[in-house]
Each structure stands twice: as structure tokens, then as C-alpha cells.
Amino acid sequence: MQITPIPCLTDNYAYIISDNNSKIVGVVDPSEALPIISFLNKKNLQLSYILNTHHHFDHIGGNAELKKLYNAKVVGFVGDKHRIPGIDIALKDNEKWTFGNSQVKILHIPGHTLGHICFFFEKEKAAFTGDTLFSLGCGRIFEGDHRQMLTSLEKIKKLPKDTKIYCGHEYTYKNAEFCIKYDNDNIDLKKQFEKVKKLRLNNLPTIPTNLEDELKSNIFLRCDQNDLKIKLNMKNQEDFKIFKKVRDLKDSF
């Protein structure tokens, strides 16, 4: 299975998923149709599915045009079927859905929005995390609360460590600057920042990242770690309080 990031709008990524054996092709979170159409034309591919992690405009903006052009089926969360444009296949939390030869597990991960989901391709160990988990960051909390967001991130943390993370935006550089500010002696983070700097200097995507690196370097996934609690002068405080503090700091960064 091939996964190709397609830059859209200013800093969004849509992803084309192409199953070479079954010839099934999907796109995750097409914020606009044109870059998707031009990639599919170039590779002579037909689109079968449009997968949406959540209903925000910069994730569904291309749905209508792509659906019409390719007669593709739109796949999203059942709880958001009233606001995912053109939805055909409405999936539940923990449901397994078949894409070509792949099994996809749906994880409901509210916080950024109430109906946010992650598509986890089990065999391929690829997770599409939308605007919930970013590389070195997490999404803003718009509809849910901090408790929900932390629980959602904890769900993602339980995926296999070698899971590749495909997120909705190229925010990694700015996220790394924030992590460094509060976690400045984290050697893994420093290494990852150097990698990110090189990639961005060459205008290359920092995505996919992988869960193992994120667990070591992403401050939002480290709220249960004592060394971070000490750095924040919050020793012995519960993980939730650390997460809320870090999210608030990031909101004003």
C-alpha cells in the first residue's frame, strides 16, 4: 500500500492511499479537489473512497467535487453524518472497515471536534490522526474538553510503537519550538528537531512521523512523565493538570 502526502491550501496535507493489488484508491481529508485530481490524473488512478477524520472545512472542502467526478464513496464518523458532506459510509467507534485488502479500525478521538476519528490501518500500522495528534503537537480543543482530548491521545498512545502517524497539517517546526521551550534538555526532542529543520529547509514534509519518536519527544504525550512534571514545577500533580497547563501554554505561544 502506498501513502502519498498531497500538500493542500497553506499547510494542510491530504493523503492518497493506493492499494496496488486491489487497485482501490482513497484520499484522506481532501481540503480541496484540484491537487488530488492532478495527482490521480498523473498516476492514472481512479478514486474509490474519500475518508474524513472530521468535519472542518480544511478537511472536507474537496468532498463534493471529488465525489461527483469519480463517484467515490465518502467515509466518516456516524456521529457526524449531519456535517460530513456527501457521507455514504458512517462508521462507529472501534468498528472495522475494509479498504481493498486492508482492515481499518476506527478510533473515536473527540476533543478537537466531538466527532473526530482516527483511521488505523492495522496491517500497515498507519494512523491518520487528523487534527488530534500532530507531529510534536496536538490539536486545539474546539468542541470537546481537555479531559476528552487527553483520553483521545491516550488511545493513540496504545497503538503499536512502530505505527506511522499521518496528521492533518505541517505544523511540526513551530510545534518543535514550543516543545523545546519547556522540555529543553530532552535529547530525543533535540535530535528530532534537527531532522525537522533539515526537512523543512528543503521544503520536504516532516510527515509521516512515528509513534515511538512522538512518545519520546511530543510534550503532549509526555504529561505522565515525572521529569516533565518537574520541569514545569508541577511535581506529583495529576497528568490531566499537566496536559491542561501545556495546552494552555501552547494556545498562547
Backbone angles phi, psi at 105, to 5 degrees: -95, 135
How far out from the chain centre does Cα 8 lie? Answer: 15
Q: How far is the CB of 16 from Fe ion (least distance, A)?
A: 20
Of 28-36, 84-92, 129-137, 198-206: span binding Fe ion (CB under 5 A): 129-137
In whole angstroms, what is the distance from residue 124 CA to residue 102 CA?
Answer: 8
Nearer to Fe ion, 131 or 214 (CB): 131
Are residues 143 and 110 in contact, defined by beta-carbon separation less than 8 angstroms? yes
Q: Work out whether 56 is an interface residue with Fe ion (CB under 5 A).
A: yes
Nearer to Fe ion, 131 or 170 (CB): 131
In whole angstroms, what is the distance from residue 14 CA to residue 30 CA?
Answer: 5
Q: How far is the CB of 194 from Fe ion (least distance, A)?
A: 29
Q: Work out whether 55 is an interface residue with Fe ion (CB under 5 A).
A: no
Q: How far is the CB of 203 from Fe ion (least distance, A)?
A: 23
Q: Choose which of 29, 80, 131, 214 interacts with Fe ion (CB under 5 A).
A: 131
Of 5-13, 117-125, 128-136, 202-210: span binding Fe ion (CB under 5 A): 128-136
DSSP string, 216-246: HH-GGG-TT-HHHHHHTT-TT--HHHHHHHH
Q: How far is the CB of 132 from Fe ion (least distance, A)?
A: 9
- Counting residues that bind Fe ion (by CB under 5 A) gives 2
Nearest to 128 by CA among 104, 110, 145: 104
Q: How far is the CB of 32 from Fe ion (least distance, A)?
A: 15
Residues 6+ apart with CB under 8 A from 52: 28, 29, 59, 60, 63, 74, 75, 76, 84, 87
Nearer to Fe ion, 113 or 217 (CB): 113
Nearer to Fe ion, 32 or 183 (CB): 32
Residues in the chain: 253
Q: How far is the CB of 131 from Fe ion (least distance, A)?
A: 4
Binding site for Fe ion (CB under 5 A): 56, 131
